[in-house]
Amino acid sequence: MRWIELKRDIRMNKGLYVLILPIVLFLFIFNYLPMGGIVLAFERFTPKNGVFFSEWVGLKHFISFFTSVYFVRVLKNTLILSMLSLIIGFPMPIIFALMLNEVEQDWFRKCIQVVSYMPNFISTVVICGIIIDFVATKGLITQLLVKIGVLDEAKNLLTISPYFRPIMVLSDLWQGTGFGSILYLATLSGINQELYEAATIDGANRWKQAWHVTLPGIAPTITIMLIMRIGSLLAANSDKILLLYTPLTYEVADVIGTFVYRKGLIEQDYGYSAAVGLFNSVIGMILLVVSNGVSRKIGDTSLF
Amino acid sequence: MNFQIKTPSRYVFEVINALLLLAFGIICLLPVWHVIMSSFSDPTCLAKHSGVVLWPLSDGPEHPITYYGYKSVFGNNSLLMGYANTIFYCAVGGCISTILCTMGGFVLSRRGMMLKKYVMLMLTITMFFNGGLIPTYLVIKELHMLDTRWVMVIPGAVNVMSLVIIRTAIQGLPDSLEESARLDGAGNLVILFRIVIPLAKATVAVLALQYVLFKWNSYYDALIYLRDRDLYPLQMILREILTQQDQTSVDYDAELAMYEDLIEYCTIVVAILPIFCFYPFILKYFTKGMMVGSLKG
């Protein structure tokens, strides 16, 4: 019965099915086949037997990951870097947008916008190239730190582990603050001006207006952005870390993403690496589902 | 907000606010400015100089700027090759991705397809979960796509986020246009090409632009899937030049290092120049893109 209906549907919407077929095929090959490939995480992979017929080892890879020193290290580093970028990197665009919003000269605001959006368009590799140059032994930032007495002698900061996290967070801030403010600025310009007029008539000064009109105006946007951020908490910026870390800083810099890359592609320990990757995907999925659910409930807005 | 009377404290606030913003603007600009100016400097002066380079350094007024670094950068074949490869990946990948996402968005905006909700489910699942690095790598390997140009443009072509955004944009178009076209005997393809694409082209263009910028700037896929240097995109070549010197060595040939620094500055300038040339023109599309992306899918 259903099959007959389906057949008729396919005949009627033939064009549409032809158009959607390549997309379904793409998703199947590049998204769903790899998901099937996750069985690798439970196998001792040998190229001869392939992904689906290698020797089954059960949870061996997971146990060896969870009991190794790396587990605590990479999880801690991932969480610390994500939390730092959340706590510092999240409010900055909001503050920046609020400050820009107070500027009354259009030309000045536009200039600052154009300049501050610019770092967003520079590639990770170039950013890292600039960072490496600036914090090298003779680099600008190293010299500055020596001059103001933070450092005793000029050293390459990327080889000193306590400096790694500040370097990551500050460079992210440099790159992301301006562009991150776009959405907030748009929301701010959408706030009804009559609300400010009414507040003035009621005797509210600027600060009170900011507190009672501006902030409630952008609060929904802030909530949604925050929830989306939490959904990607485990996705620490591993392609940037990959360019900046050295064995000397693995202690603080090695995150799940970089660990999976090293184990899998450099050491070619496929099964183990797939297991760590699966762990990451599962936690990431839980975070996404939860944050998306919360977002749907609170803001009546959801990502999906 | 000119209906308000300015108090003296408001003036003070405005000045401080403007100064802080100005400081931030300068911080955003200064590193890039330093790099550009250093790239035109004399390497010997550059090595001696400490602090920000605000203007090209030289050893005398008769040689105000040097192009030495640029000569060497443009003589570097692998860099030019990387440029060509990146342009190819951006163009071909952008076309494939845009066509697929538009097609998908169009189909999923239609009503009355029985299997639509299953396709939608299939799309949504990929946003929550993925196979991870190694399983994906092995699939690509089994498909014999490692070390081919195709690996750079095919696997990421269906971007679910863009597809959903296009679908939303198409759903927002007035139904009456489509109905009248149907009355005139137009089929799905005619509707797609004659009505939907002309009306939704702004959204499609914004997403295509985002794809191209992302592709231009990313190196990670190439790092994983490409071994053959002739296929490397620009960012991989930049990675070699900019980040792969031995960071730990303390003492090495100073003269060589001097020129290496200069060449690095020049490489950075050459790498960011095209984006900066287009930047003022594409900026408004990106601001638009941020808005489009934030709408409910």
Chain B: residue nearest A296 by CA? B296
What is the band of B248 on the pLDDT scale with cuts at 50, 70, 90? very low
The pLDDT assigned to A18 comes to: 87
Q: What is the mean pLDDT of chain B?
A: 83
Which of A20, A125, A138 is opposite residue B235, by nearest beta carbon? Answer: A125
Task: State whether B25 and A111 contact (CB < 8 Å).
Answer: yes
Task: Supply the CATH number for residue B172's domain.
Answer: 1.10.3720.10
Query: Does pLDDT of B64 surpass 70?
Result: no
**pLDDT tens-digit profile of A241-287?**
999 888 888 888 889 989 999 988 888 888 889 999 999 888 888 88
Predicted pLDDT at A225 = 83
The answer to whether residues B27 and B83 belong to one domain is no
Whether A53 has a pLDDT exceeding 70, the answer reads: yes
Lowest mean pLDDT among A24-38, A112-126, A201-215: A201-215
Please check the confidence at residue B96 and state whether its pLDDT lies above 90: yes
Q: Are A38 and A116 part of one and the same domain? A: no
Q: Cβ contact (<8 Å) for A17 and B163?
A: no
Higher pLDDT, B196 or B2: B196
pLDDT > 90? residue B86: yes
Task: Specify the length of chain B in residues.
Answer: 297
Question: B193 and B169 in one domain?
Answer: yes
Cβ A23–B130 below 8 Å, yes or no?
Answer: no
Q: Tell me, what's the ipTM? A: 0.86
Same domain? B139 vs B4? no
Chain B contacts of A237, Cβ < 8 Å?
none
Specify if B290 maps to a domain: no
If asked whether residues A153 and A235 sit together in one domain, one would say yes
Residue B110 lies in a domain: yes
For chain B, the domain total comes to 2
Q: Is residue B237 part of a domain?
A: no
Same domain for B200 and B82, yes or no, is yes
pLDDT confidence band for B89 (50 / 70 / 90): very high
Domain of residue A292, CATH code: 1.10.3720.10
Last residue of a domain, which of B66, B93, B116?
B66
Final residue of a domain: which of B189, B213, B231?
Answer: B231
Residue at which a domain ends, from B22, B41, B66: B66
pLDDT of residue B54: 76
A16's enclosing H/E stretch is helix A14-27
In a domain, B289, yes or no: no
Retrieve residue B206's tokens.
């914004």
Question: Are A79 and A197 in the same domain?
Answer: yes
Name the residue range of residue B28's domain.
1-66
- Flag whether pLDDT at B59 surpasses 70: no
Q: Is the pLDDT of residue B251 over 60?
A: no
Whether A186 and chain B come into contact, CB under 8 Å, resolves to: yes
The partner residue sitting opposite A264, judged by closest CB among B133, B242, B287, is: B133
Is the pLDDT confidence value at A169 over 80? yes
Higher-confidence position of A300 and A91: A91
Query: Is the Cβ pair B139, A29 closer than 8 Å?
Result: yes
The band of B291, judged by pLDDT with boundaries at 50, 70 and 90, is low
Distance of residue B98 Cα from the nearest chain A Cα, in angstroms: 12
B-chain residue closest to A197, CA distance: B3
For residues A12 and A36, state if they share a domain.
yes
Q: Does A89 touch chain B (CB under 8 A)?
A: no
Residue B1 has pLDDT above 60, yes or no: no
- Clarify whether residues B226 and B81 are in a common domain: yes
- Residue that has been written with the tokens 């951020």 in this structure: A229
* Mean pLDDT score of chain A: 86
**Residues B212, B100 within the same domain:** yes
**Each residue's pLDDT tens digit, A64-82:** 899 988 999 999 999 899 8
Is the CB of A13 inside 8 Å of chain B's CB atoms? yes
- Flag whether B217 is in a domain: yes
Q: Check: CB of residue A271 under 8 Å from CB of residue A44.
A: yes
Closest-CA residue of B relative to A192 is B1
- The domain of A67 spans 60-299
Is the per-residue pLDDT at A150 higher than 90? Answer: no
| A304 domain residue, yes or no | no
Count of structural domains within chain A:
2
Residue B109 has pLDDT above 80, yes or no: yes
pLDDT at B249: 47
In a shared domain, residues B128 and B39: no
A262 and A144 in a single domain? The answer is yes
Instruction: State which of A182-196, A210-224, B97-111 shows the largest mean pLDDT.
Output: B97-111
Tokens of B136: 């994906």
Long-range contacts from B290-296, C-beta under 8 angstroms, 24+ separation: B290/A179, B290/A182, B290/A183, B290/A186, B291/A183, B291/A186, B292/B165, B292/B169, B292/B203, B292/B206, B292/B207, B293/B161, B293/B165, B294/A183, B294/A224, B295/B165, B295/B168, B296/A301, B296/A302, B296/B168
Asked whether residue B246 carries a pLDDT value surpassing 90, the answer given is: no
Mean pLDDT of B13-20: 90
Res B189 pLDDT > 90: no
* Cα(B252)–Cα(B275) distance, integer angstroms: 34
